């Protein structure tokens, strides 16, 4: 890469004026790791706020380089030493390095390891789980701590709306929170989308993931089957699916190819698959999966929706919050079904059912699924999350707490 060209890029990228941003929950975790010797890896879907988050660490003590910049197109692993020398020449000697999307440069981990071995503090962001994990596992094992960033949580959404939470909510405050929740439920948590409300922005994120992060990166010859699979998945969130169904739908000849497509989509953080819980690991692997999307608004614009899908969008929102809380998750299916099981260590510790609204028509079905999961895993208490109902039900010597999702989202 041309040295003068690189110099111009670095000067432009480091011309930084701090601005007011929404405080992220992950900020506290970052602060607690600042004095540790570990390389900090922040991963997540494009445009969820990773760059904004590490920009909070910028200042007189840190260098910043964003590699997800088309001007870095000719940059290779051989240019890292020139980059290092230019950073010192332009900004003086510093001990903190902030690298945005560095995984797009092949061999980046060797350079980062060298900086780490020289007692520098390094923060790295990335939007491809596979590339990050492979390179970290090869050269940086034991030297890094990985954190995941998601689009705004409901608490962060409220901060974006300048709403201050209090310990004892008044009736007026509760009404405001419910109104905000109805927005969050449909609009999701991509920071920039919330300020612009332009669906083209979300479509652009989706197109970038499909073309830049998957088709180009994995050298796929055809885009149509991949896009058909994604549209189908977005239209059927929270439903069981089989690889054979997707194979027939897309016209692909191999279930293995479908598995690869799903791994590419998961690596880009666009969606997640959920396994059925079984005491047999083999049965878990071969059972049908459920698919959830990173964000409700993104799922809505990619897929086809009907009014009956409100319950599935609500379930999607709960799934993402549980992932944000770093829970190990499964779904339950035996004679009945329960949406989520949470596993800690070797035990299932919690069962959660999600229902938009409990009615005379569906209450028995929802309760039976939750009770079956509680009985199998010897749980005395279960949780049933709804849009806006709250009560406690004692049945079969067990307690079921029915709670509005907005209230659950605000709990620690």
Write the CA distances from 390 to 94, 308, 316, 393, 396, integer angstroms.
54, 22, 20, 10, 20
- CB contact at 8 A, 108 and 102: yes
Cα 221 vs. chain centroid, distance in angstroms? 28
pLDDT digits (tens, 9 = 90+) for 318-340: 999 999 999 999 999 999 999 99
Architecture of domain 3-148: 3-Layer(aba) Sandwich (3.40)
**Each residue's pLDDT tens digit, 27-56:** 999 999 999 999 999 999 999 999 999 999
Domain boundaries, the chain: 3-148, 306-412
For 119-131, the pLDDT digits (tens) are 999 999 999 886 6
285-296 mean pLDDT: 94
Model confidence, pTM: 0.95
Q: Is the dihedral of CA 49, 63, 208, 216 positive or negative?
A: negative
Query: What single string gives the DSSP state of each residue in 168-203?
Result: S--HHHHHHHHHHHHHHHHH-S-HHHHHH--HHHHH
């Amino acid at each position: 890469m041309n040295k003068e060209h690189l110099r111009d890029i670095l000067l432009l990228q480091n011309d930084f004026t701090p601005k007011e941003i929404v405080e992220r929950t992950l900020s506290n975790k970052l602060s607690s790791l600042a004095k540790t010797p570990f390389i900090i890896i922040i991963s997540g879907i494009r445009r969820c706020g990773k760059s904004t988050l590490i920009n909070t660490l910028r200042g007189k003590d840190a260098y910043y380089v964003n590699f997800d910049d088309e001007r870095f197109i000719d940059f290779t692993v051989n240019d890292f030493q020139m980059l290092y020398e230019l950073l010192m020449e332009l900004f003086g000697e510093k001990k903190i390095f902030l690298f945005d999307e560095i995984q797009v440069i092949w061999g980046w981990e060797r350079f980062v390891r060298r900086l780490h071995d020289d007692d520098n503090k390094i923060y790295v962001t990335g939007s491809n789980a596979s590339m990050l994990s492979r390179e970290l596992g090869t050269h940086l094992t034991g030297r890094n701590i990985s954190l995941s960033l998601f689009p705004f949580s409901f608490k962060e959404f409220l901060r974006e709306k300048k709403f201050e939470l209090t310990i004892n909510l008044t009736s007026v405050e509760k009404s405001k929170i419910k109104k905000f929740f109805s927005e969050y439920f449909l609009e999701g948590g991509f920071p920039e989308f919330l300020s612009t409300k332009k669906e083209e922005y979300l479509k652009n994120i989706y197109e970038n993931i499909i073309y830049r992060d998957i088709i180009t990166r994995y050298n796929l010859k055809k885009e149509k089957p991949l896009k058909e699979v994604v549209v189908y998945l977005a239209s059927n969130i929270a439903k069981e699916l089989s690889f054979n169904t997707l194979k027939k739908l897309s016209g692909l000849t191999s279930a293995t190819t479908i598995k690869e497509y799903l791994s590419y989509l998961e690596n880009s953080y666009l969606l997640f698959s959920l396994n059925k819980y079984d005491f047999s690991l083999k049965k878990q692997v071969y059972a049908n999966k459920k698919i959830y999307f990173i964000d409700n608004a993104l799922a809505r614009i990619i897929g086809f929706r009907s009014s009956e899908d409100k319950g599935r969008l609500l379930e999607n929102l709960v799934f993402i919050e549980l992932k944000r809380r770093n829970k190990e998750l499964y779904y339950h299916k035996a004679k009945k079904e329960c949406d989520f099981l949470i596993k800690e260590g070797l035990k299932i510790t919690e069962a959660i059912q999600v229902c938009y609204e409990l009615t005379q028509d569906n209450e028995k079905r929802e309760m039976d699924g939750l009770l079956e999961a509680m009985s199998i895993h010897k749980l005395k208490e279960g949780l049933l999350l709804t849009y806006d109902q709250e009560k406690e039900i004692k049945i079969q010597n067990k307690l079921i707490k029915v709670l509005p999702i907005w209230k659950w989202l605000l709990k620690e």
